[in-house]
Amino acid sequence: MSEDTQHKTPTIELRHVEKHFGDLHVLKDVSLQVEKGEVLVLIGPSGSGKSTLCRTINRLETIDSGEILIEGKPLPQEGKELAAMRAEIGMVFQQFNLFAHKTILENVTMGPVEVLHVDKKKAEQEAMELLRRVGVAEQASKVPAQLSGGQQQRVAIARSLAMHPKAMLFDEPTSALDPEMINEVLDVMVELAREGMTMVVVTHEMNFARRVADRVEFMADGQILEEGDPNEFFDHPKTERAREFLESIKGH
Ligand SMILES: Nc1ncnc2c1ncn2[C@@H]1O[C@H](COP(=O)(O)OP(=O)(O)OP(=O)(O)O)[C@@H](O)[C@H]1O
Ligand SMILES: [Mg+2]
């Protein structure tokens, strides 16, 4: 059987996911699949549930019903298994969330040493390689506050990669950055995508989405309203809601 006729298990799969915050119905029957090596861009108006969706994937948020599967396996509810699974999905947020009192190198080696029990020397070697790869190796002995936002966000990416994740989730990773720093972070993400990383990216950076996304999902009011090829979506959105939204973010 040829490779593409074989059934492949998606790296991430959501089936009919429902979530409420009190009276607010924030995820409404959300189903999606992310195949291995695929880059999915999630786009939509503020408050539509994009961050919540990302957070449910590594169970920073619980769901009311439906299923979330990582490589075909349901998300564990709690305990050791959940911690292990969380380590398999990297997450990069709008705010960099680096440990302020640790050096850049320590920020990157902490996870491997404490969670994966990697030997410290080995973890440091790998951390330096990753920091080199994202272009901040010379900052290794500084603390986060001594770095620019763009540099900190690249450290956050290196820190996630150090855990050898099966997939990476990016929630508006460039929206807190000064404009001149956006591209240095996007370039690292483009490179990751080229290397075959499975990625879910919440972003309004349309040029990035056109270049890198295999698929775009448009979310509004807790629902996925459109799904498709990025150029097709940006040039010919099917729903009025998407047309309005794209009009509102023009110039990004
Ligand atoms: N912990 C929470 N408790 C209650 N309501 C919440 C919580 N987190 C998010 N919400 C609400 O859920 C809805 C979806 O929020 P979410 O952050 O997922 O949207 P988003 O699409 O990421 O928006 P943005 O583009 O502004 O980041 C919003 O109305 C938000 O106010
Ligand atoms: Mg958000």
Band of the pLDDT at 84, cuts 50, 70, 90?
Answer: confident
**pTM for the complete prediction?**
0.93
Residue 9, Ramachandran bin (φ over 0: left; ψ between -120 and 50: alpha; else beta): beta
The closest residue, in CA terms, to atom 7 on ligand 1 is 21
- Map residue 71 onto helix, strand or coil: coil
| Contact predicate 115/87, CB 8 Å | yes
- To test the pocket of ligand 1, the residue of 25, 43, 50 to mutate (highest count of ligand atoms within 8 Å of its CB) is 50
| Four-point Cα dihedral 106, 79, 61, 223, nearest 10 | 110
The closest residue, in CA terms, to atom 11 on ligand 1 is 47
| pLDDT, averaged across the chain | 92
Please determine, for residue 196, whether its predicted confidence score (pLDDT) is greater than 80. yes
What pLDDT is stored for residue 252 in this prediction?
Answer: 58
Assess whether the C-beta atom of 60 lies below 6 angstroms from ligand 1: no
Please determine, for residue 5, whether its predicted confidence score (pLDDT) is greater than 80. no
What pLDDT is stored for residue 17 in this prediction?
Answer: 97
User: Which H/E stretch holds residue 248?
Assistant: helix 240-248
Assess whether the C-beta atom of 50 lies below 6 angstroms from ligand 1: yes
Atom of ligand 1 nearest to the CA of 53: 18
Spacing, Cα 121 to ligand 2 middle (Å): 37
The closest residue, in CA terms, to atom 2 on ligand 1 is 21
Contacts of 135 (CB under 8 A, 6+ apart): 154, 184, 188
Mean pLDDT of 75-88: 77
- Domains of the chain, start order: 52-223 (3.40.50.300)
The closest residue, in CA terms, to atom 13 on ligand 1 is 47
pLDDT digits (tens, 9 = 90+) for 85-115: 777 899 999 887 899 999 999 999 999 999 8
Contacts of 218 (CB under 8 A, 6+ apart): 43, 44, 224, 225, 226, 227, 233, 237, 239, 241, 242, 245
Nearest to 202, CA basis, from 19, 50, 2: 50
Residue 207 to residue 187: CA distance in whole angstroms? 12
**Nearest ligand, CA 204:** 1
End-to-end alpha carbon distance in the chain: 44
**DSSP state for residue 4 in the 8-state scheme:** G
- Dmax over CA atoms of the chain, in Å, equals 55
Angle between helices 120-133 and 149-161 (to 10 degrees): 130
**Nearest ligand, CA 22:** 1
pLDDT digits (tens, 9 = 90+) for 127-176: 999 999 999 999 999 999 999 999 999 999 999 999 999 999 999 999 98
Atom of ligand 1 nearest to the CA of 61: 1
| Contact predicate 26/55, CB 8 Å | no
What pLDDT is stored for residue 88 in this prediction?
Answer: 87
- Map residue 101 onto helix, strand or coil: coil
Nearest to 39, CA basis, from 245, 225, 185, 229: 229
Please determine, for residue 62, whether its predicted confidence score (pLDDT) is greater than 60. yes
Atom of ligand 1 nearest to the CA of 52: 18
**DSSP state for residue 135 in the 8-state scheme:** T
Assess whether the C-beta atom of 56 lies below 6 angstroms from ligand 1: no
Spacing, Cα 50 to ligand 2 middle (Å): 5
- To test the pocket of ligand 1, the residue of 48, 62, 175 to mutate (highest count of ligand atoms within 8 Å of its CB) is 48
What pLDDT is stored for residue 166 in this prediction?
Answer: 94
Query: In degrees, to the nearest 5, what angle opens at C-alpha 217 toward C-alphas 211 and 218?
Result: 110
Assess whether the C-beta atom of 220 lies below 6 angstroms from ligand 1: no
Spacing, Cα 51 to ligand 1 middle (Å): 7
| Contact predicate 196/190, CB 8 Å | no
Residue 219 to residue 103: CA distance in whole angstroms? 38
